[in-house]
Structure formats: structure tokens, C-alpha cells
Chain A
């Protein structure tokens, strides 16, 4: 197992365009998390899935953001009508239920730049 994989690593997009990121968690992990990290700040929780069910969403996740995890495997995070304020590192993490409170494994992130 190669850990949590995120694609693409970098994305530059024009304001107003839609973007989609993909996360492949560690195969036996049933929980998947999305976080956003801006420069000089710690990661901020966006949403999490247990298997295919999206169980919690942050207030940070405006209606322009949508996340899916079909069949409880990989996940996608889509941002519609991107704004310059969306520029950040988008981090995905995964864990096993029960082990979640002891931390989890992060991917290397997708760095989004909106110009």
C-alpha cells in the first residue's frame, strides 16, 4: 500500500472555472476526510465520509463545494465557480473507524491556485 494518494498535485485555474480533485485512501480505511490549509495556517476540517456516507460538513463548505465517495472507495472534491479565496492546499486523509481519534494518514495534498 502506498498510502493516501491525491491527484493532481497542483492545479492552476482561472476564476469562475470548476475544478475537481481526487483522493485514493489507504485501501482498508473506511473513513475519509477533506481538509483545507492556507499559507501559514493549520489544516481546517471540511468534511468526512464513513464508507460512502458523508456524515459531517463544515460551515466552510459553501454550496460551491461538493464531495462524493462512491462505493466507499476513492473520493472527489469539486469546487464550482472558483474564487481567488479558494486558493489553498486541499488535503485528504483516511483512517479506520475506532482509530480515528488517534490521528490519521494524510496525503500530500492538491495545491490550488485561482488566478
Chain B
């Protein structure tokens, strides 16, 4: 079993829809949670990060962490065609190395 599980999709939504992306994890030692966006043939780009449980909002993006359920989510409001990409969840332990464990990534397509 992988430490981080993420549905690969693909997920297709109409422009303007609210998108919900999710990851589950098995290791309770994870303390830092991130979402990266990756366009085709590019490196991942950091979108959001949260520490421990709670919500964080940044523009059209909201990240949620529920440590009791070992479940994290990314919501995208008013989705745009430019949001079409692969979304990767990532997490790290409370050590000082910064090593990230990634999910498989979910491919999102927003149709005009």
C-alpha cells in the first residue's frame, strides 16, 4: 500500500464549476501538506501548503486537512480552462529534511 493515495482521474468539468481534489494517507507522522500543479512537460509548481489540520484559502483555491481522517482536499472555485493540469498532493514529516512524499496526481480538464 502506498503511503499517499490519490485518484488519477481524469476529471473533466465545465468552466465555472467547483472542483474537489482529494488525497488520503496512512502515515500519521505527516505534518506538512502541500498541493502542486504540474502542466504537461513542466516541473511541479507549489500552489498551497498547510501545517497540521485546518483550512487555508488563497484566491480561488482552498486547502483542507483533516488529520483525524488522514484526508486532505483542494477546492478550486470558478474553475478556468487554464486550471487544466495535473494536481499533486505532497506531504512531509516533522523532520528537518523536507523530503516530500507525493500522490500519483489527478489530471483535471476544464472545458470552456
Q: A residues near B, CB below 8 A?
A: 4, 31, 33, 40-45, 48, 55-56, 91, 93, 95, 97, 100-109, 111
User: What is the CB-to-nearest-CB distance from B110 to chain A, in angstroms, rounded to a whole number?
Assistant: 20
- Which chain B residue shows the least CB distance to A101? B32
Q: Shortest beta-carbon distance, B26 to chain A, in Å?
A: 15
Considering only residues 18-58 of chain B, those with a C-beta below 8 Å from chain A are 31-32, 34, 36, 41-46, 49, 51
**B96 CB to nearest chain A CB (Å):** 7
25 sampled A-B residue pairs with Cβ under 8 A: A4-B43, A40-B104, A42-B88, A42-B102, A42-B105, A43-B88, A43-B100, A45-B101, A48-B97, A48-B98, A48-B99, A55-B97, A56-B97, A91-B44, A95-B98, A100-B92, A100-B96, A101-B51, A101-B98, A103-B49, A104-B98, A106-B43, A108-B42, A108-B43, A109-B43
